[in-house]
Structures are given as C-alpha cells and as structure tokens.
Structure 1
Amino acid sequence: MDAESKIKTFETFKFVCPILIWPALLSRTDVLGKKHCIEGLDNLKKYLGSQRSDDNFKIFVDSGKTLARDLGTDSKFSISKLRKQVRLFDYEGSHKPVSNSFQKFKTAFYFAILDHAISSVNERFTLLTKCYSLF
C-alpha cells in the first residue's frame, strides 16, 4: 500500500467511527474498572485487618481440628527439635526460639502471611489511588 491508499482508508467512515466510539467506551469502562478495583482493594484491606486477631486464628485452628478429626489425623502441631544457633558476634542478642508449637505456628505462619498480604494490598491500594487521582 502506498501513502495515498492509506490516506483514503483513514478518511473512510468505517475508520473514523471507531476512532470516536472506542475512546468514549473505554474511558467509561476504565474509570468504572478502577473505581471497582479501588473498592475491592479497600474491602480486601479491611477483611485482612479483621482476620489478624487471636479470635480468628482460633476459628481457623478449630476448623482445622475438625477437619483433621474427620480425616483421622493428629490435630496437634508437630514439635520440631529446638536447635542451638551459633552466634558469631557478642553484640547479637540471644534469641530464644518459641517452644510452644501453637504460638510458633501463629506467629511464624498465620500472622506472617497476613502481614505480608496486608502490606502488599496497602502498596497496591496506594499506587492505584494515586493513578486513579491522576486520571
């Protein structure tokens, strides 16, 4: 195709109409999508914050115990052998590992996952609200 045939194609109604229609549709869809996304992230942030409590952890553990009982497995957290950690420098404080397997699971797994998810959602929520405010 040469330049003149491309110009003729650009001047057709079939080409001009989509140029007018698509931006109008996409601008509304884009704003609508961002708004719902921000609302969804806000709801997720509230949910994750509400889940980070001892009561909700107990609910999950009780549900896990029920499932373990139904499956015929042990419903207790396994106790791992406590290992002594070699300290290389004296200024490092002595770290006493948690000996209670229930507490260890709660802090090392449950709260760690929720904290990571909350920080990730907060980061995305902040970035999305900045982008939304610009456009």
Structure 2
Amino acid sequence: MEEQGQVKLPQPPAADLPSSDDDEAAQYLKKLRRRKCMIKCCGCITVFLQIKIIVIVILIFTLFRIKNPFFTLNGFTINKFPTSGTNMSITAVVSVKNPNMAPFRFSNTTTNLYYYGMVAGEAKAMPGNAKARRTFI
C-alpha cells in the first residue's frame, strides 16, 4: 500500500555508495595536494631569496664598492714673510672628494711641511664629514 503523495526514488547501486576506503583515499589525495602546494610555495620562496641574494652581491661588487677618497691641495697663501726672520705662516686650502655611496668621516689630522727632507712645519685640521659623492672643502 502506497501512501498518496510519496514518491519512491530508485536506490543507487551498491558500488556507488561511499565506503571507508573512499574516505581514506580522499584524505590521502587532500594531503598529497597540500604537500604539492607546500613544495611549490617553498620552491618559489627559495627562488625569490636566491634572486635577491644575487642582486645584492652584484650591487656590493659594483655600485657599493669602497673607493679611496681624493685629497687635493687647492691653493695656499703665505701670510707672513719676514725679511730677516725664519718664521712664516702658510694657509692651505685642501678639499676631500668622496666617490663612495656613503658619507666619509675623518678625524683630526696633522700635516707636516718638509723642506729638503726635514720637517719645517706642522698643521692641524679639524674633523669633518664628506657627504656621499660630494667634495668637502
């Protein structure tokens, strides 16, 4: 006896019903997909880091190579030139050219003036800071 309004649906074959083996296979495939995704992510991160390291090394050996500063004597004046004595005063203008990409700091300096291989005078200079790729006077 069939009740009115109810429709019987056909039952699927037993082979189409999910079993515990299918659950294990689905979980295994999920883990396999996750593992492949992790391997791809790790590979991309590794390649990115290697490219970054290569670029930094190239910049260090080319652009950021440390070069020696150039010291130039631009001119000097003799302030006192006595006719009978041996004392005289000389003012020198020295510039420091910094070819580096970073500032160059120098401390107190002492310069000696030689006359025929003997020290004839001594000058002291104040510390300074030559900016990157600039000339400090």
Same fold (TM over 0.5): no
TM-score by length of 2: 0.31
> TM-score by structure 1 length?
0.32
**Does 1 or 2 have the higher relative contact order (CA < 8 Å, sep 6+)?**
1
